[in-house]
Amino acid sequence: MKTTTVRNKVSRDKRKRQQPMTDPYFAVVQEFWPHILMHYQEFEDKKPIMLFDIQEQRLYVYPYDGFKAELSEKSQNLLEQQYERALAEQEIVVFVRDNDQKRLVSYSIDPESFESA
């Protein structure tokens, strides 16, 4: 299965959000944000990658190295850049997986200023 990876950044400044409000994957993140944040905080010291699977309606918490190892070389490089920026800016990397559409979309989210739906 070929998976398309798209990365988005949710800015700290609500006026500068780079995420269109019509993005259905972003809407999923907003809807499940309280759960994403709660589970992230359980493992915050390990700086995990969060993954929400749409079909399973399930949230996964992955160690960075384990998650990265499952990606293609190109996606590994993109994740590495995103993850380093997210750590520097105290953001959480959240992926949404849609197996039906063969999409894997990621967001870097500032937990201090993000608003759930």
Domain ranges of the chain: 4-109
Cβ atoms of residues 117 and 25 within 8 Å: no
pLDDT digits (tens, 9 = 90+) for 33-68: 999 999 999 999 999 999 999 999 999 999 999 999
Separation of alpha carbons 93 and 104, rounded Å: 13
Read off the pTM.
0.82
Identify the pLDDT of residue 22.
81
Residue ranges in 1-117 assigned as alpha helix (H) = 24-42, 64-69, 73-88
Q: Torsion angle of alpha carbons 105, 72, 58, 83, nearest 10°? A: -60
* 30, pLDDT greater than 60: yes
Tell how far CA 18 is from the center of its chain: 14
What are the phi and psi torsion angles at 63 (to 5°)? Answer: -70, 145
Q: Regarding predicted confidence, which is higher, 115 or 111?
A: 111
User: What pLDDT was estimated at residue 21?
Assistant: 59
Higher pLDDT, 20 or 85: 85
